[in-house]
Amino acid sequence: MGLNGEDKRIRALFCELKHEEKRTSPLFAKTWNIAEAEFHRRGFSRLRFQPSSNLLRFATAILVVSLVLAATVLLPRYLRLPRQPRQPKHDYAKQEAAAAPRATSEEPPRSRKVPANRESAKPTDRLVAIRRSVRVKKSPVASAQLARTVNQIKQNGLSEWQSPTAKLLRSAGDELLRFVPQMNESAEEMKKFLSNDLN
């Protein structure tokens, strides 16, 4: 390898370093004797870092075991997390089907005169419509309302159910529209009724 000025300079510096380190280097005999004494003391065994390495192995083993335990205990729990039970659609249909005949059988005598076409509407359709309208909101209040409505229908029958906004549709003249005047009804009674109603 050809040496240029820079290389020569570095070599010179390393030479100085070498000379200095040679002077300060420990004697071979001393180093060898220490190693030999250590060799005899240990009795041909590799005990140099046994305590620390054993401790390290022990700590690693504990760590591994605790990780495995944590994995076996926590993982199944995590996997078994209760999901929001999704009731399939046919459940509602079953409930409605069960509720519908009861509603018709427990139908109380008509105290009010309801138009015939409203009565003939399928109860299942109405329930589904109600549920849909509530489900769209997807809020706790809405679900609570839905639950209340379903309970009410279950208890009193479908014919008794009233929409929560039905009150808003009521007016003072509703009574007039609830019945149809009969042919033989006297004009006096009509007048009486009208005068009372107007007062």
Owner of token pair 């997807």: 138
Tell me if 194 sits within 8 A of 173, measured CB to CB.
no
CB-wise, 59 or 61, nearer to other proteins? 59
Report d(CA 15, CA 23) in Å as an integer: 12
- Cβ distance to other proteins smaller for residue 10 or 129: 10
- Contact between 38 and other proteins per CB under 8 A: yes
Backbone angles phi, psi at 172, to 5 degrees: -65, -30
Binding status of residue 57 toward other proteins by CB under 8 A: no
Q: Is 7 in the site for other proteins (CB under 8 A)?
A: yes
Window contacting other proteins (CB under 8 A); options: 25-33, 120-128, 148-156, 190-198: 25-33
Helix-, strand-, coil-residue percentages of the chain, each rounded to 5: 70, 0, 30
Binding span for other proteins by CB under 8 A among 5-13, 129-137, 153-161, 180-188? 5-13
- Phi/psi region, residue 185 (left: phi>0; alpha: psi -120 to 50; beta: rest), is beta
CB of 43 to other proteins, least distance (A): 10
Q: What is the DSSP string of 11-56?
A: HHHHHHHHHHHHHHSPPHHHHHHHHHHHHHHHTSS--TTHHHHHHH
Check binding of 174 to other proteins (CB under 8 A): no
* Nearer of residues 27 and 116 to other proteins, judged by Cβ: 27
35 contacts other proteins (rule: CB under 8 A): yes
Contact footprint for other proteins (CB under 8 A): 1, 5-7, 9-11, 13-14, 16-18, 20-26, 28, 30-32, 34-36, 38-39, 42, 44, 46-49, 51-52, 55-56, 59
